[in-house]
Amino acid sequence: MFSETIELRGHIIDSLILPKVLDEILKGGGNFKIAQVKIGQQRADQSFARIEVSAESSDALDDLILRLRQHGAEVAEKGDAQLAAAPADGIFPNDFYVTTNRQTFVRIAGKELEVRAPMLDSAIMIDRSKERASTVRFADVRKEMEIVVGHQGVRVVPAQRATSGTDVFQLLNTNISAERPKGVLIREIARELEEARKSSGKILIVAGASVVHTGAAEYLVEMINGGYVDLIISGNALAVYDIENALFGTALGLNLERDGLSESGHENHLRAINVVRAAGGIARAVEAGTLTRGIMHACVKQKVDLLLTGSIRDDGPLPEVVTDSMEAQRLIREKIEDVRLALLMGTMFHSIAVANLLPGNVKTLAVDINPAVVAKLTDQQTFRALGLVTDIEPFMRELTECLKTLRKDAKISR
C-alpha cells in the first residue's frame, strides 16, 4: 500500500469539503484514516483535518491526490512545484499541470506565488526573475518557457460558501426553473448591476441574436445608455439582425411591430450587411448617419467595448467581426480581465466560450428559455453562476424597469 498525508483547512465542514474529499477517496478506490480533526466550535471558526490517504499503486495514489487538490487538499510534506521547459512553441512539457478557474498558489523557492488570471484548462508558466506565476494557453506557450509539471507545490483555494446572507450569487450553481417566481430575483440582479455600475469592475453582456428576435433590443439599448454595460461579446448575427432592424424596421425580414405573426423573406439581413460593408464598418456607419438606432448604434455612441467573434455560420461578415477563432479567444481573455458581473443571455455558444475563460469569482447570471442551456452553464462546480429559465424579452423589460426604480429611489433618498 502507498500512502500520503493531506491537510484540509477552512470551512471544510459546512462547505462540504471534508466529506467530498472522503467521498473522492472511496470513489477512487482508495482508503483513508483520519489522523486529526479539529472542528470550529462557532460558525465563524475555521476547521482543520489531517488525513492519511492510501491506494494500491503509486499511480492510483497520484491520481487520487490530483483530485483531492481540486478540493483544496494540500500534501502535508510541502515541497516546491516542479518545473519543465516547453519543448517547442505551442507545446507543453509532458505531465503539465492543468488549471481550474479558482484562485491558485504555486510554491517556488519555498514561497507561494498567486497564479495570475486563473482560467480553466491552461498551464502555469513561471517567470522566476519577476517571481511571477500566470496561466498560459497552447497558443501562447513559447519554447523554453518554464511550466509547472505534476501537482507538487500547487494549492487551489476551494470555493467556500459566503458568510453574508444577502448575495443571490452566494449559492453556487443555482438554477431557477421556469416554475418559479422571478420578481424578487430580478430586483436583486438590478441591485447587483447598480452596484457594479458604481464600482470599478466591468459589466459584461454576452448576448445572442434572440435578444433582437424577441424584441428585447430596446431594453439592452436602455441599459447601455444607463451606463450598465462596459463590454459586449457576441457574434456577427446579433449585430446583423440589430442593424437590419435599425435600417429596415425588420428582423429576419419581419416587421416586429406591423407583421406580428407572418414570416416573410430574409433578404434584408444581407442588404444590411452590404450597407455596413459599403460604409466601412459599424462605427463609420454611425458616424456617417446611416445607422441611427439600435444596440450597435448605442455601443458606438456610449463607447461600449464591443467584440464580435466569427463563425462558419456567418453571412458577410460585418467588417468588425474577428474571423480567426484563436485571435478572438485572445481578445476575450484580454477584455474580460476586470469583469465583475457577467450576464449571459440567449446564446449557448458564446456563453460557454466566455464562461470557460472567466475567473471563478466573477458573478455570472445565465438567462435562457431553454432549461438545457441554463443547466449546462451552471452545471460546473467551478462557478458563481446563477441560472434563470425564462423568456428574454419580459426578463429584460422587468430588469430595466427595476433599474429605473432603483435610480428614482436613489434620487429621492438623497
Q: Which of residues 216-255 bind a copy of itself (CB under 8 A)?
A: none
Report the nearest approach of a copy of itself to the CB of residue 200 (Å). 27
Minimum CB separation from a copy of itself for residue 41, in Å? 6
Q: Is 129 in the site for a copy of itself (CB under 8 A)?
A: no
Per-residue string for binding with a copy of itself, 89-128, x by CB under 8 A?
-xxx-x-x-x----------------------x-------
Cα–Cα dist 102/259, whole Å? 49
Interface stretch with a copy of itself, choices 18-26, 71-79, 198-206, 282-290 (CB under 8 A): 18-26
69-97: burial string, b at 16+ Cβ within 10 Å, e else: bbbbbbbeeeeebbbbebeeeeebbeebb
Strands 254-255 and 305-309: unpaired
Do you find a cis peptide bond into 371, omega within 30 degrees of 0? Answer: no
Are 151 and 66 within 8 A, CB to CB? yes
Which three three-digit cell numbers place residue 299? 455601443
Interacting stretch for a copy of itself, rule CB under 8 A, among 74-82, 152-160, 195-203, 256-264? 256-264
State which of positions 148-177 bind a copy of itself (CB under 8 A).
168, 171, 174, 176
Question: CB under 8 A: which stretch of 24-32, 73-81, 103-111, 221-229 binds a copy of itself?
Answer: 24-32
Alpha-carbon distance of 187 to 202, in angstroms, equals: 20
List the one residue from 312, 411, 412, 414 that touches a copy of itself (CB under 8 A). Answer: 312
Do the beta carbons of residue 211 and residue 346 sit within 8 Å? Answer: yes
CB of 343 to a copy of itself, least distance (A): 17
397 binds a copy of itself (CB under 8 A): yes
Q: How many CA atoms lie within 13 A of 150 on its CB side?
A: 13
Q: Does 84 bind a copy of itself (CB under 8 A)?
A: no
Residue pair 155/304 in contact (Cβ under 8 Å)? The answer is no
Whole-number Cα distances in Å, 12 to 20, 40, 47, 72, 74: 9, 10, 6, 9, 13
From residue 53 to residue 72, what is the string marking binding to a copy of itself with x (rule CB under 8 A)?
A: ----------x--xx--x--
Largest CA distance in the chain: 76
Give yes or no for residue 213 binding a copy of itself (CB under 8 A).
Answer: yes
- Per CB under 8 A, does 410 bind a copy of itself? no
Query: Judged by CB under 8 A, which stretch of 11-19, 282-290, 296-304, 405-413 contacts a copy of itself?
Result: 11-19
Is residue 37 near a copy of itself by the rule CB under 8 A?
Answer: yes
Residue 182 binding a copy of itself, by CB under 8 A = yes
